[in-house]
Amino acid sequence: MTNQIAIALGLLILGVFAADMLWFDAGLPVMVGKQLAALIDYVSFWR
């Protein structure tokens, strides 16, 4: 991954979270956290 791609992806992710804060009442970080916790539980099952 080049630096330009990494910067573009970082700005895209920050833009999505900023749009969520402005227009959608900041529910995205909570949803992402819950999904990440579920993924960790699922992966730990296979360990």
Q: For residue 15, what pLDDT is reported?
A: 94
Who wins on pLDDT, 47 or 15?
Answer: 15
Residue 26 has a pLDDT of 84
Q: Specify the pLDDT at position 12.
A: 97
Q: Give tens-digit pLDDT for 24-41.
A: 888 999 999 999 999 999
The answer to whether residue 47 scores a pLDDT higher than 80 is: no
Q: Going by C-beta distance under 8 Å and a sequence separation of 6 or more, which residues neighbour residue 27?
A: 20
3-state helix, strand, coil in the chain (%, to 5): 85, 0, 15
Domain locations along the chain = 3-46
On average, the pLDDT of the chain sits at: 92
